[in-house]
Structure 1
């Protein structure tokens, strides 16, 4: 479990299976901000998908909690076929009502600390081309376009890479 406090108000920890509904709800609220025509798979059972992510033995879901309420989530694991020192950030969302409060930065720092502890050297992710806010956030955190995975014609995602800094 990871625990971090910012001004005594923010706690970052491993998500619990009982929190899947709250996590799925936050996920859909955040995603709806960058899909102009509606969230794809809006009728998909995201609660069950998040339960599966939380229970995966080869992955981890972190949540940022303020006053007992989940306000940020991050899900990562080693993607199929990737080197053991690479992790993929599959989901990273902050509740839109808590944007620009430092929660995303703190949650990202907790992810990077876990990746260091797990001896990861690189992280990868894909971000929707219309999600300019996320792209700017990731750039501020040190993510760059992945030279090994350029976007394909007609793909709606950009592929980014992060070099996990070594322990100081």
Structure 2
């Protein structure tokens, strides 16, 4: 049973205590969206969870990669990380990860994480954000489109069409105000 969208949701900085939960939800999310394309591939095995635990641990160790998590009733149900993208002609922030536990898809977790990222990016002075999304992940592509992301005209889709780069003009993107008392 999915939680109602209006349940209490807290977005906060990730701590090392959150790593196991984030690795589990990231592994589950990847398994869910890859299963549509590769139905027999084992994306939710312990080795994948260990891989994502290590990846998130490396991100947390970086000074240039802030990470946020969303928790409902003390349980981590989503996570996001981002970093400055200095290798561009036009500096931008890159949304490195935004993952939500599949049981919480459609309940506002992704939107809350995205809104928190927008506030942080603007506070840091960024005017543009970019992300790479898997071409076949139509759910994620539709989510980002609803939030104002568009294909990046400076980057064509990968030659093998596995990824699509999206961009967001932070001067026009709408973010709801920060929740009171959180």
TM-score normalised by the shorter chain: which range applies?
0.7 to 0.9
Runs of 4+ in structure 1 off by over 4 angstroms are none
Structural mapping, 1:24-43, within 5 Å: 24-35=23-34, 36-37=37-38, 38=41, 39=43, 42=48
Quick check: 41-50 or 27-36, which moved more?
Answer: 41-50
**2:108 corresponds to which of 102, 109, 116:** 102
1:102-159 per-position Cα deviation (integer Å, ceiling 9, x unaligned)? 1111111111000001101111011111100000000000000000011132130011
Does the CA contact (< 8 Å) of 1:84 and 1:120 recur in 2?
A: no
Unaligned residue ranges in structure 1 (runs of 5+): 1-5
Equivalent residue number for residue 163 of structure 1: 169
Q: How many residues align?
A: 163
Residues 84 and 65 (structure 1 numbering): CA distance in 2 closer, same or farther, change over 3 Å? farther
Q: CA deviation at 1:59?
A: 1.1
- Distance in 1, matches of 2:95 and 2:115, equals 13
TM-score of the superposed pair, with normalisation by structure 2: 0.81
Q: Which TM-score applies when normalising by structure 1? A: 0.88
CA distance in 1, matches of 2:118, 2:18: 23
RMSD: 2.4
Paired residue for 2:12? 13
Any gaps of 5 or more consecutive residues in structure 2?
178-182
Per-residue CA shift, 1:22-45, capped at 9, x if unaligned? 111111100111213233983762
SS in 2 for 1:62: strand
Which one of the candidate residues 133, 136, 141 is aligned to 1:130? 136
Corresponding residue for residue 82 of structure 1: 88
| Among candidates 50, 63, 66, match of residue 60 of structure 1 | 66
Aligned residue number for residue 3 of structure 1: none
1:19 to partner: Cα distance: 1.3
Q: Which residue of 1 aligns with 2:145?
A: 139
